[in-house]
């Protein structure tokens, strides 16, 4: 019995030695792992347009315009969560200058949205752990805006009578 145990112990040591190159193994944590380790702590994610005077859930744009979007990630207590990865996407395919974001020391990241597709759109920002924030965007064509302005200006033009 002692011989079996000794043989098993030698086998385990040799197996471990064969698998190891005598370099300590470390598994680096990436940004998404940081959020996973704090799963018991609730985080908040916000998405807003920087140039919008009021905090609205719907942004109106004209085709070809650009607007800067700000994503903010913070802990439940309001403390910023820096160095966290976020992804941002347009449901309709409007162009975003950055799709993969990394929060700064204030827990914030920005991307420029360029209105390239007319219609209703939803911009979604996500964390690797599944936290989501969305912003509705309506992109109008320049022709629609011009037609409305032309209708109002015609009423103000006086009639001209030629002799």
Give Cα separations from 9 to 4, 13, 21, 23, 81 (angstroms).
Answer: 9, 6, 20, 22, 47
Q: Distance between CA 52 and CA 2 in Å, rounded?
A: 78
Q: Are 96 and 125 in contact (CB under 8 A)?
A: no
Q: Are 98 and 111 in contact (CB under 8 A)?
A: yes
Instruction: State both tokens at 136.
Output: 């509705």
Pick one of 2.60.40.10, 3.30.70.260, 1.10.3470.10, 1.10.357.10 as the CATH number of 32-152: 2.60.40.10
- 100-102 and 95-96 beta bridge pairing: unpaired
Task: Note the pTM of the prediction, 2 decimals.
Answer: 0.62
Residues in the chain: 163
pLDDT in tens, 20-65: 444 333 333 333 333 333 444 588 999 999 876 566 668 999 999 9
pLDDT in tens, 104-159: 999 999 999 999 999 999 999 999 999 999 999 999 998 755 444 444 445 565 56
The structure tokens 């219609």 sit at 119
């Amino acid at each position: 019995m002692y011989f079996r145990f000794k043989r098993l112990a030698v086998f385990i040591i040799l197996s471990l030695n064969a698998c190891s190159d005598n370099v300590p193994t470390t598994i680096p944590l990436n940004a998404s792992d940081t959020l996973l380790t704090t799963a018991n702590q609730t985080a908040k994610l916000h998405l807003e347009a920087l140039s919008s005077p009021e905090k609205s859930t719907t942004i109106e744009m004209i085709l070809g315009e650009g607007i800067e979007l700000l994503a903010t990630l913070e802990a439940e207590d309001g403390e910023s969560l820096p160095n966290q990865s976020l992804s941002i996407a347009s449901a309709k395919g409007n162009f975003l200058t950055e799709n993969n974001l990394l929060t700064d020391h204030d827990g914030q990241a920005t991307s420029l949205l360029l209105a390239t597709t007319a219609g209703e759109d939803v911009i979604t920002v996500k964390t690797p752990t599944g936290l989501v924030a969305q912003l509705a965007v309506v992109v109008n064509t320049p022709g629609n805006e011009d037609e409305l302005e032309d209708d109002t200006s015609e009423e103000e033009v006086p009639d001209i009578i030629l002799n």
